A and B are shown apart, each in its own frame.
Chain A
Amino acid sequence: MALSDKSRNEAVLKAITANRLRDGEVIFLAPGPGLGWVERLDAAALFEDAAAAETALAAAKTKAEGEQFAVDVYAFDLRVVDGQRVPVKTRERIRALGPTVRIDLGKQAAA
């Protein structure tokens, strides 16, 4: 049952996530000034600096709510382990991949 969490020594980074309003899909804030969104964590913007993440989070919330595009916008912690982006918390790992009991479903199914 154990989920992968190989290293606790890697630096903790931040990414920003939300659910798309229309369909509930888990999305991540994309890199760049446009505050766009992507469906895969691999393509998400990463923040080394907590203050920068907070600034981006506030801007993303305002834009997402203004455009009725995303809901429940928040930041979470992750590490890069062997080139893979691994959220620190199990909850976020499951959100980024899909249910561990149905690996045929969710983002992991298309990986």
Chain B
Amino acid sequence: MNHIAPGRNAGVYSYDDIDRRFVAERVEQFRAQVERRLSGELTEDEFKPLRLMNGLYLQLHAYMLRIAVPYGVLTARQLRKLAEIGRKYDKGYGHFTTRQNLQFNWIKLEDTPAILHELAEVDMHALQTSGNCVRNVTTDQFVGAARDEVVDGRVYAEILRQWTTLHPEFTFLPRKFKIAIMGSDADRAAIRVHDVGVFAKRNERGEVGFTFYVGGGLGRSPFIGKLIRDWVPEEDFVAYLEAILRVYNQYGRRDNIYKARIKILVHELGQEKFTQEVEEEFARLRGPKYRLAPEVVDEIRRRFGGPAYETLTDEPESFQAAKSANPDFARWVAVNVLAHKVPGYAAATISLKPAGGIPGDATSEQMELIADLADAHSFGELRVSHAQNLVLAHVRQDELFTLWTALEANGLGTPNAGLIGDIIACPGLDYCALANARSIPLAQAISARFADPARQQLIGELGIKISGCINACGHHHVGAIGILGVDKKGEEFYQITVGGDPTLTTAIGDILGPAVTADETVDAIEAIVEVYLSNRHDGERFIDTLKRVGHGPFKERVYAAH
């Protein structure tokens, strides 16, 4: 088995023999479980929790396998393996999810042990992607690269992965548990709508500490996470999270699935009482056993390696000349490229949202092309964003034009990151057994309506998020425009919300009015955009205009014909 050496695939945690042995053992355990199920030794009721512990769901058309991409970071080699699995065991494509994972929609149960074995060959697995456990910890897709970063969240996300995977207290939680970490002043990971949201920061002495928000979440009952501790020293990071999870494990409801998430516990106990319980538990736990030693942090950090950056300067001449000569390239740079912490480099978003396309889907051929581009331009490393795009995080600015040319030639150069065409959408009723309505066709219709890149840029930052049911995998509650699919007597309708915000100024969107049909929804989005453009002040984002003028003008225009 090849070892992913730091430096060769910079920024990706390198497994050691213990990691590999553990993953290999889990594959063999599941292989035996599948055999026992197929032979009848296990009933479906007995087998279901076991397959869910390995990321295997039963969906509308087949089994769905959700593969973990820890904190959204993977190597080109790993992406090639995903492409190969897609071609060999699925139907030649995969779907990147809103939790930075990848899922295949046409998997056979009898193939799953072989798939997991192949994943293990590249240090991948499907653990913690399902079930009532601590799920894949998510973070900023620009982690380790963003110019505004204060602390590298990957290190702490990896510490949590190691701490939670086999933790006996966290294997049968009341419900699933989602943690997100940000390490900069901006919020690109929707921190306050997670069960636990963590901001990693530094004090005036440069020491690392963490701010904890608890009890956020979307779904049937959306809540914004409450601040329970502004500063937890690095050495207490694990102890404090352990305290939160112990309080949840002790008081969280197991009698009602709709009231089992920690957000309900925090809401019912109240922020003050919940915080008191956590602090009391933390006081009991604090000590050598739970102390996160600096040498442990340093070792984890070391195993991420680091890109061998060259000494460069920002805005090299060739980059400026390419932008001047090619307006389409200049637009892509303006929209899809982010400043890097190292001069002369940039982070590029590869949009998986072509106009009229399926958000988050990538064919095996596209994955292989992107893997090649990651090798050529970004130290063999990639990221999956929670917005269902891919990111090459360390591209030399003087190589951006070459990168864009290759992307553009293969339909991957759409300049819409963060714009109206960059729609987050869950798989919806086209694939999902829980959905009430389709999400993807609506996303396709809206992105086709707003296909013109110049118009998208003119409209500016405007996130549309679509969920096919109240479980809110499409994050509709925090969309500037959110769309929720509902079933009305067997027909699909869509409820529109406005004013949601997943960033530091977190807000849950307000329902604009009665649900409308799919076709009416596309027209409604157009009407909302028109009202915004006719009312906005210079430099004002959609949500700013909405706050200033209120819902009235939008509601009036959308429902004018009703």
Binding site for B on A (CB under 8 A): 1-2, 5, 19, 21-26, 65-66, 68, 71-72, 88-91, 94-95, 98-102, 105-106
Which residues of the partner chain A approach B408 to less than 8 Å between Cβ atoms?
Answer: none
B40 touches A24 (CB 8 A): no
With known contacts A24-B107, A68-B39, A90–B62 Cβ distance under 8 A: no
B110 with A71: CB separation less than 8 A: no
User: DSSP class of A's interface residues: helix, strand, loop or mixed?
Assistant: loop
Task: Determine whether B91 belongs to the interface, using a CB cutoff of 8 Å to chain A.
Answer: yes
Report yes or no: A68 in contact with B519, Cβ–Cβ below 8 A: no
Residues in chain B near residue A66, CB distance under 8 A:
40
Q: Mark B55-93, 1 if CB is under 8 A from A, else 0.
A: 000111111000000000000000000000000000100
Contact: A94 with B490, CB < 8 Å?
no
User: Chain B contact residues: over half helix, strand or loop, or mixed?
Assistant: mixed
Known: A90-B490, A90-B492, A100-B441. A22 touches B108 (CB 8 A): yes
CB distance B58 to A22 under 8 Å?
no
Q: Within the assembled complex, what's the spacing in Å between the Cα atoms of A94 and B106?
A: 14
10 A/B residue pairs, CB under 8 Å, sorted by A: A21-B37, A22-B110, A23-B62, A65-B43, A65-B44, A71-B44, A71-B58, A90-B437, A98-B61, A106-B61
- Pairwise interchain contact B58-A24, C-beta atoms closer than 8 A: yes
Residues of A within 8 A of B91 (CB): 105
- In the bound complex, CA of A100 to CA of B444 (Å): 12
Size of B's binding interface in residues, CB under 8 A = 36
Which residue of chain B lies nearest to A22 when distances are taken between CB atoms in the complex? B110
**Chain A residues near B107 (CB, 8 Å)?**
24
Does B109 count as interface, using CB distance less than 8 angstroms? Answer: yes
B358: Cβ under 8 A from any A Cβ = yes
A101 to B361, CA, bound (A): 11
CB pair B58 A19 closer than 8 Å: yes
User: CB-nearest residue of chain A relative to B427?
Assistant: A99
Instruction: Identify B40's interface contact among A68, A71, A72, CB under 8 A.
Output: A68
What residues of chain B lie closer than 8 Å to A23, measured between beta carbons? Answer: 62-63, 108-110
CB neighbours of A19 from chain B (8 A): 58, 62
B442 interface residue, CB < 8 Å from A?
A: yes
User: With A99-B61, A101-B440 known to touch, is A21 a contact of B109 (CB < 8 Å)?
Assistant: yes
> B175 in the interface, Cβ–Cβ < 8 Å?
no
In angstroms, Cα B112 to Cα A24, docked, is 12
B24 within 8 A of A: no
B434-465 at interface with A (beta carbon < 8 Å): 435, 437-438, 440-442, 444-445
B431 at the interface (CB under 8 A from A): yes
- The answer to the question of B279 belonging to the interface, with a C-beta cut-off of 8 Å to chain A, is no
Residues of A within 8 A of B12 (CB): none
Closest to B39 in A: A68
The reply to whether B37 and A1 form a contact with Cβ atoms under 8 Å apart is: no
B58 A91 Cβ-Cβ under 8 A: no
Are A91 and B110 interface neighbours, CB within 8 A? no
Chain A residue numbers with a CB within 8 Å of B430 are 94, 99-102
* Residues of chain B contacted by A22 (CB below 8 angstroms): 38, 108-110
